[in-house]
Amino acid sequence: MTNKLAVFDFDSTLMDGETLEFFAREIGIEKKVRDITDRAMRGELDFFESLTQRVSFMKGLPLSKVNEICQNLPLMTGAQEVVSGLKAKGYKVVCFSGGFRNATSFFAQKLGLDGEFSNILHSKDGLLTGFVGGEMMFNTSKGEMLERLQKLLNVKPQNTIAVGDGANDLSMFKYASKKVAFCAKPILKENANIIIEEKNLSSILKYID
């Protein structure tokens, strides 16, 4: 049996929005954070620098509020359908996120994902410290993790799908035969071979054997 793998970004892909912007709304700096996010997703800012800067603004936000926000994030239309549809076709489905485990672990269980890789928000005494760490902090992180996962699961690039919307998803495309730009920034669309403009993830299924 052929091993097959589908990898999805989380923010603005599996989830409809950006986790950090939901946090920022709580403290009244949503526009400031959105501007930095947009520049990073267009490839104008280094992802690591943009991530650490945005997280630093969240210092003092209660962890209980963070977890409440994360568990009430809106799923993208078609998210459950695309995960179920791909699994029915024999794919392992995982999430790679430059966002946070507080959200991805919850939704991985909800969606029935086979794995999730994301970053960790540090906290002390129940409050965010403004620091972040983890395995998805750099522009190249997703591609490097995908290559490792392919070796671990014995999956070839021709049996791999990568789905994302921004510049930090670009590194995954090197290791996938189906490179899906979902409602994406121009830099990702230029490097994709499947472009979906409709805000419905289940549209992907018509391109999958």
Instruction: Give the catalytic positions in this structure.
Output: 9, 11
State phi, psi for 200 to the nearest 5 degrees.
Answer: -150, 110
Extract long-range pairs of 159-162: CB within 8 Å, 24+ residues apart. 159/2, 159/3, 159/4, 159/5, 160/4, 160/5, 160/6, 160/7, 161/5, 161/6, 161/7, 161/86, 161/91, 161/204, 161/208, 162/6, 162/7
Cα–Cα distance, 132 to 122 (Å, whole number): 6
